A and B are shown apart, each in its own frame.
Chain A
Amino acid sequence: MKKWFSRKLAPIIMVAPTTVWMILFIFIPMIIVLIVSLVRKDTGGGIIYELSGNGYAEMFKIEYLRIILKSLWVALEATVICLALGYPFAFIISKLPKKYINFCVMLIMLPFWINSVIRIYGWDTLLRDEGVLNKLLMSWHIIKHPIVMMKTEGAVLFGLVYELLPFMVLPLYTSISKLDNSMVEASADLGATRPRTFTRVVLPLTMPGIFAGSIQTFIPALGLFYIGDMMGGARYMYIGNLINNQFGSGRNWPLGAALSIFLIVLTLVMMRQYAKVGNLEDMA
């Protein structure tokens, strides 16, 4: 009886909550989204249960394609900037004395303890025309008129980079800290210059981290619609806003669901690509 318990029942009990969780909160909602994307819209919001491809057909309006392309572009920009900032950052952390490493990694995680919307509000207080930074610069006579920083496209990009940098740094750090220093030494011994060692040895060995970090930055960057609203003053529309609108004032649920399915498929394709290139261990 005891043996049976530990061999069969215990693992089931251990896995069951996660499975139930996944089914309840990931699998079933996804199925619902899929169903909504395939039926007809009702006046005043809601749906009529009649099969229809309108949701997908309407996706191909030129405006929506422009919004999708723009969202992909901004997400790419944010990813590249995060990578450029995050790579040296992760490298420095991994080379620190052991006792500081944990502290530094904790500092990267620290922002997650505060709700991201509240943190974005914080930037508004700091950066707006009569905000802390402009007031300081003006009182030091460095500038005469406030610099307009908030409610611009630049601010949206800044918000994305700020919010997503930890997602880039953490996998990079994992990957870089696994880098075997003897490889670097061997490369130097064999006469490679430092840039060559970097491009031929360090970069390929840390590629899984780069890939993991990029995916973990790129995908959420597509969905963070409130950053466009709060940092960009909602002057631009991104795919997240577009989806949100279709369930709200647009009253077109099937279109919103179809756009969501598009995003989900895009994510799955990228994850698959990642599984091929990288190593899933670095996703954590």
Chain B
Amino acid sequence: MRIKRIAAGILAAAAVLSLSLTLFACGKKSDKTLYIYNWSEYIPQEVYDLFRQETGIEVKETTFEDNEEMLAKLEAQGASRYDLVVPSSYVIGIMKQKGYIQPIEKDKVPNLKNISADALGKNFDPNNEYSLPYMATMTVIAVNVPKLAELGVEIKSLNDLLDPRLEKNLVVVDDQRELISAALKATGQDPDTQDEATILGTLDWLIALKKNVKEFSTNNSKVALETNSVAAGLVFNLDAGLAIFENPDITVIYTTEPCELAMDNFVITAGAKHKDYAQQFIDFVYRPEIYKMILDEFPGVCLNDAAKALLDEDYLANPGATVDSYELGRAHITQDVGDAVEYYDDVYTKMKIN
């Protein structure tokens, strides 16, 4: 009886202790911390480590997989939970409108001079008041040259992706805006249309595309390319670049239609507790050697002229990592479509169940 009572006491104590530990463990944190909310696989850990060594500021990174996931989290948890966020161009308008972001003090970011003039003053933030460019991602067509030759297929237009000989031989990003933009461009229409009938009209094109798609994958497309699982892909240049480094049979080709481009930007949240740290970090990333370090790991589109001068030969020779500058210039920057997103979601769902 006595043993039982002692055991009960110990158990109760343990229960209380563990509960209080979980409740109070969260309360303790270091003051010099920068909270960044970023795409997964976009800034390597070494950059954060170097920043800490130099400034003593610890960077805590939380990651997201797409802009909408990021918006949802800011909506649900409040933007001020993070100091620095890295959204794509087309959601910056929404973030401004919802009051999630505040102006950046550009004089605190002297290395901004390294950033290419082409990357500044875009229509989503004409004076770069709220956003400063980080990197860009261009959606390109990556092809497996021997596989495509074996099939006898040549890709000159987005419409060639519908060639029946490519049946179940494509990897494409699992992203409704990207694929519907492709359908709209292929059929000669405005890729940012908000017109219901036009958007729903892409269904046939999308269904034809789906017949050729082996895998819809936003984050893993490089594996499908690398392992020769598919003959071609509509993928982000970063993934194409990584696949090309691993598999020399892969290359990038361009079509008559312009590519889709997303500019990813640094923004500082409205209630940021560490605005200074955030600006310091942006400035740090803009240093040519740091920016190059990032590109070596994640070969997005380089927007830093000073870093461009440092890039290795095999980086410049990789058509996924270093995209064609003419194509970059004429690429279409994805815009927000407001409430028309409903029609985009609708036609995408219809394609998926077909």
Contact = CB atoms under 8 A, between A and B. Distances in A.
Interface of A: 2, 5-6, 9-10, 13-14, 16-17, 20, 43-46, 63-64, 66-67, 70, 124, 128-131, 148, 150-151, 229, 233-237, 241-242, 245-253
A205 to B, nearest CB: 36
Interface in B63-90: 66, 68-69, 71-72, 75
**Interface extent on B, as a size class?**
35 or more
Contacts of B346: 63
Contact of A13 (B15, B215, B227): B15
Given A6-B5, A20-B19, A129 B72 contact: no
B175 interface: yes
Contact of B94 (A6, A44, A234): A44
A234 B174 contact: yes
Contact of B217 (A63, A128, A233, A249): A233
A251 B70 CA distance: 12
B342 interface: yes
A9 B11 CA distance: 12
A13 B68 contact: no
A236 B341 contact: no
Interface centre among B71, B229, B339, B342 (most CB of A within 10 A): B229
Contact of A233 (B69, B94, B213): B213
Nearest to B230: A129
A20 B18 CA distance: 13
Nearest to B5: A6
A36 to B, nearest CB: 10
A131 B224 CA distance: 11
Contacts of A129: 227-229
A243 to B, nearest CB: 12
Contacts of A247: 68-69, 72
Interface in B1-36: 5, 8-9, 11-12, 15-16, 18-19
B71 A128 contact: no
A249 B66 contact: yes
Interface of B: 5, 8-9, 11-12, 15-16, 18-19, 66, 68-69, 71-72, 75, 91, 94, 97-98, 168, 174-177, 210, 213-217, 223, 227-229, 336, 338-339, 341-342, 344-346, 348-350, 352-353
B353 A128 contact: no
27 contacts: A2-B5, A5-B9, A14-B12, A17-B15, A17-B16, A17-B19, A43-B94, A44-B336, A46-B71, A46-B98, A64-B349, A67-B353, A70-B353, A129-B229, A130-B229, A131-B227, A235-B213, A235-B216, A236-B353, A247-B69, A248-B72, A249-B66, A249-B175, A250-B68, A250-B342, A251-B71, A251-B345
A251 B75 CA distance: 12
B72 A45 contact: yes
A-B CB proximity, top 4 nearest: A233-B215, A234-B216, A13-B12, A237-B352
Dominant secondary structure of chain B at its interface with chain A: helix
B15 A16 contact: yes
Contact of B338 (A6, A43, A130, A248): A43
A17 B22 CA distance: 11
A66 B336 CA distance: 29
A235 B215 contact: yes
A192 B233 CA distance: 63
B15 A46 contact: no
B349 A130 contact: no
A63 B12 contact: no
Contacts of B229: 128-130, 150
B18 A17 contact: yes
Contacts of A43: 94, 338-339
A10 B8 CA distance: 7
A149 B88 CA distance: 36
A233 B221 CA distance: 10
Contacts of A10: 8-9, 12
A130 B213 contact: no
B8 A6 contact: yes
Contact of A44 (B98, B176, B228): B98
Contacts of A44: 71, 91, 94, 97-98, 336, 338
A130 B9 CA distance: 59
Contacts of A249: 66, 68, 175-177, 341, 344-345, 348
A14 B68 contact: no
Nearest to A66: B353
A229 B227 CA distance: 18
A279 B73 CA distance: 41
Given A130-B229, A148-B168, A241-B352, 12 more contacts: A6-B5, A10-B8, A16-B15, A17-B16, A43-B339, A64-B349, A131-B227, A151-B168, A237-B352, A245-B349, A250-B341, A251-B71
A93 B98 CA distance: 59
Nearest to B95: A44
B124 to A, nearest CB: 14
A77 to B, nearest CB: 17
A256 B341 CA distance: 15
Interface centre among B213, B216, B346 (most CB of A within 10 A): B216
A248 B69 contact: yes
Given A6-B5, A45-B68, A248-B72, A14 B353 contact: no
B29 to A, nearest CB: 21
Contacts of B213: 233, 235
A247 B75 CA distance: 11
